[in-house]
Every structure is written in C-alpha cells, then in structure tokens.
Chain A
C-alpha cells in the first residue's frame, strides 16, 4: 500500500471520515492518569525485586482470582508482609476507588509470576537480574538555579536510576537468600557454588572480577579477587550479607517515609495549603532523589499557588513545565497558574 492510498482512505466517505475524526478527537480525558500512576508506583514500589520476583511469586495460584481485596494480600503471606504495609500506606494516598487497582496490580504480579507468564503474557526474559540488565535511563536533568525566596525546585531526580537501583538491590538480596551457603575463599567451594549466585551475593567481590562468567579462568580470577578482598577487609561474607540486608531494610524504610511524607502533603493541600507547602519543602530537602520527585514538586507548586505565592510559583514552574510539558501534573500546575492569573 502506498502512502497515497494511506492518505486517500480518509476521503472514502463523509460518514467514515466523521467517525474516524470522532475517534481521533477522543482523548480519553476521563482516564485518571494521576491515580493510575499512583497505583503503578505502589505496584512497583511494593514489588520491586524480591517481592515481585521471589516473594509474591510464591503465593498460591488461587491468588489470581482474588483481585481487589485485602483477602488477596492476606494470602500472600509473610514474604509480602512489608509490601502490605506499603500498600496500606498507599491506600491512604490513593483515592478509595484506586484501592482496587492497587491490590489487583499486586495480585497481577503474583499471577504473572506464579503462573509462569500465564496470567500475563510471557514477554521475554525478565530483566530484574541486577545492574547488568537494568538499563533504565536516567531522565535528562537540568539544574534549576533560580534564586527565589523559596527553596528551588530541584531537577527531576534520577527516578529511573532510583527504580533501577532499588530493583537491583532487591534482586541481589533475593539472590543471596537463594544461596545461603556463600562461597568461601577456597577454590573447591567456589566451583561447587552456582556461579550466578556468587556475583549477586558478593557485589563487592564482583566488582573486582566483573567479567566473571563461570569459566575456570574466571573462577580462578574470582578466587584471587576474593582472597585479595579478604586480605583488605576482615569482614566475612556473612557480615557483608548482613550489611547488605541492613542497607536494604534502611532503603525500604526510607521509601516508606518518603511515601508517607508525600501522602501527608497531598492530604494537607486541600485543607491547609501552608502545611502542604511546608511538608513538600521538607520532603524536597529530606528526599532530594525521591522516586516521587515529580509529584512532590507539582504538589509544592500547587501549594505555593494556593497560599498566594503565585509569582514565585510561576518562576519555579517554568523549568518544571518545560521538562514535563505533557505530564498530568504539569497540566494541573498550568491550570492552577492560569486560574490564579485570572483572579
């Protein structure tokens, strides 16, 4: 079919053209992008790495039918206990009608994993194996350097990198959980230990032998590297693993605090914008590389507009709107600024 044919189709008849025009004009404006994105954040925040790949995956297949209820979460068991906490947090953040989405999203992950791709179509190899396959790019960051009486809106943090990091850490933890017997410095035990688990369980050693592929040469290299690493650090593999787990717990707690702070600010926006502004600023300071940076900055701008700091908000909004011209958050900010201008 030539390009001419492509173009000529629209001239087929006025009726056909009218219907197609109606379809083109329909932008599905009623779809709640913000709510959907909040649910998506909850899903990937809840289930990155361990939960998605190892924790929830162990849930019974019957969970697939438990869309939309706390019942679904209850069956997920201990491995998902922390996820339930995060989901509960999100329940306070997302609107009631979004609860179903959030829970079903969690269930969907479980289905996808527990059915080996039956619940959701198999879409090729998973890329959650760690940093080697985490190819999520950091968005372009531009420095906001305006001198204003309020804290400058920092550029969109490396949301992607954060997600990638988070997933990588969880994967590493899950991998180490799967290989409770960590290799020692002896070459015999290294050979017997699955190679795939070794670099994940020992990221520091892995950095010393990045090219490890399981060949004899690499095993030897790794052995040397491990010996060297041990010579420089008295820390045992067990201690390193404990340290990694503690770091993971800390990261999870931070994410939880981040989400909670954002929730508080969002809730305050309608009733007490000054408080929302204060909370958003605090959040900016405490979580400069937050996964929810874009949302928090939109919140901050909306709060500023509501407390009457319209000019300052307009200045700060300029780089934000330039960076995210089509985002739903930008749309809200733009509308709020327009509304403020007409009053």
Chain B
C-alpha cells in the first residue's frame, strides 16, 4: 500500500487527481483542527481502537492525529471526507507506532478497549455486548492493517469505498478488492471462532459428563 501523503489537503495544490475517482465528490467546507476535533473525535477514536490500539494509547494518538491535521492547515474539501482524511492520518500513525514499538502488547486485546461497554444499561446486555466487541476485535486483529482499515471504515463506520480510497490515496479498484478480501477473511475468522467455541463446548460438555 502506498502510504505517501499526497499533500493535497495540506497545500490546496489544486484539483485532486486520484486514479479512478472523481476530482471532487462534493462541495464541503474547510475545517480547522479544532472543528475537526469537535465533530469527528469519536469517529477517529473508534477507528484507532478498532485498528488494534490499546485504550491507554488512545489519548496520545488522538492528540497526534489532530496536531498533524492542524499542521496541515486543517481539512480542505476534496475527494476525501473529513472523516476519511482524519482516518488516513490515524492509519499512518498507527502503522508507524506499531512498527516502532514492535511489542505484542500493542496489538493484543485490551480490556480497556471494550470496558466502555460496561457500567451502563442492563448488565447482561452489557456483558454480551462486551463479549461481542472482544470477538469483533479478535476477528479484526486477524486482518492485516490495510484490510483492517478498509473493513473498519467501510463496515463499522459507514464510509464509502470511494471516500476511503481518496483518504488513503489508493485507486478505487484496489480499495474494492481490498474490502472484498477483508470481508472474506473476516468471515473466516468469525467462523473459526464459532468452530473453536463449538469444539471447546463439546470438550467441556464431554468432561462434565
């Protein structure tokens, strides 16, 4: 994947020219970093967490994302939406952090990441929701970074493939094929979890007889 930044957002260097996508999706408004933070902080937080970052690292990464957005002069209307623009910054930061740290803990399932599901509402529902988030994260963690980013943005955060492609600076066709592969792998991972649960259940059942 080509992670190089096009510079379009930061420089306003004229019409964008991503391969296979329109030069401009829609007219939008320019946003400074504070306004981006106000509007899209949770979106970015969710993306970062689903990319496998631990809750304890979230705050620092969030600050870095928006600081970079600030240094870039904020968001300028273009092929990428503000959300996918921010996601592209977050993606590169996560990528860099993961490479820098190279510690297993960074990508391990972190209780903190799902703790926010607790403490509210029906305890049983919360526990179930937490379990689902843990399973979701395990399945996501089985994808590589690029496919995971595609999957999270498209499936969990409702972004269009075209906008994601623009944000990440990749051709739309590549984005589609990446999403297709991500879906297949995600399904396999979930089915693998189901098989594992069934096997474990049988073993436990057999042992208790």
Question: Which A residues contact B (CB, under 8 angstroms)?
Answer: 1, 5-6, 9, 12-13, 15-16, 18-20, 22-31, 33, 36-37, 39-41, 43-44, 52, 67, 98, 100-101, 104-105, 108-109, 112, 120-128, 133-137, 139-140, 159-160, 163-164, 291, 294, 324, 326-329
Contacts and interface: CB of A to CB of B under 8 A. Distances in A.
Contacts of B152: 23
A128 B92 contact: no
Instruction: Identify the 10 closest CB pairs spanning chains A and B, nearest first.
Output: A124-B7, A30-B116, A127-B73, A137-B30, A22-B132, A160-B32, A23-B156, A105-B63, A31-B45, A136-B32
Given A36-B37, A36-B62, A125-B11, A1 B156 contact: no
A124 B10 contact: yes
Interface in B57-87: 58-60, 62-64, 66-68, 70-74, 76
10 contacts: A13-B191, A19-B135, A22-B136, A23-B155, A26-B116, A43-B67, A133-B11, A160-B30, A160-B31, A160-B35
B115 A108 contact: no
A159 to B, nearest CB: 6
B92 to A, nearest CB: 4
Given A39-B63, A328-B41, A329-B38, 16 more contacts: A13-B187, A22-B133, A23-B155, A24-B158, A31-B116, A36-B37, A104-B63, A105-B63, A105-B64, A109-B67, A127-B73, A133-B12, A135-B12, A136-B73, A140-B29, A291-B34
Contacts, number: 205
A22 B60 contact: no
Given A31-B45, A40-B67, A126-B71, A26 B133 contact: yes
Contacts of A25: 129
B41 A121 contact: no
A109 B69 CA distance: 12
Nearest to B46: A28
B170 interface: no
B91 to A, nearest CB: 9
A40 B176 CA distance: 35
Which of A52, A127, A140 has the most chain B CB atoms inside 10 A of its CB? A127
Contact of B71 (A29, A128, A294, A328): A128
Given A23-B133, A28-B42, A52 B156 contact: no
Contacts of B133: 22-23, 26
A44 B59 contact: no
B89 interface: yes
Contacts of A98: 59
A287 to B, nearest CB: 16
A38 to B, nearest CB: 10
Task: Say whether chain A's binding surface is mostly helix, strand, loop, or mixed.
Answer: helix
Contacts of B12: 133, 135
A320 to B, nearest CB: 13
Contact of A36 (B59, B176, B191, B193): B59
Contacts of B70: 40, 43-44, 163
Given A1-B177, A101-B63, A112-B71, A44 B33 contact: yes
Contacts of A104: 60, 63
Contacts of A139: 35
A6 B160 CA distance: 10
Chain B's interface size range is 35 or more
B6 A22 contact: no
B18 to A, nearest CB: 15
Interface of B: 3, 5-12, 29-35, 37-39, 41-42, 45-46, 49-50, 58-60, 62-64, 66-68, 70-74, 76, 89, 92-93, 95-96, 115-117, 129, 132-133, 135-136, 139, 152, 154-156, 158, 161, 176-177, 179-180, 183, 186-187, 190-191, 193-194
B71 A52 contact: yes
Given A22-B129, A40-B63, A127-B10, A135 B45 contact: no
Contacts of A15: 190-191, 193-194
Contacts of B135: 19
B50 A23 contact: yes
A23 B190 CA distance: 14
B41 A36 contact: yes
A159 B60 contact: no
Nearest to A52: B71
B41 A33 contact: yes
Contacts of A328: 38, 41
Contacts of A109: 67
A5 B41 contact: no
A41 B11 CA distance: 22
A328 B35 CA distance: 12
Contacts of A294: 38
Given A19-B136, A26-B117, A31-B41, A124 B6 contact: yes
Contact of A135 (B76, B139, B176, B191): B76
The residue among B66, B161, B191, B193 with the most chain A CB atoms within 10 A of its own CB is: B66
A168 to B, nearest CB: 11
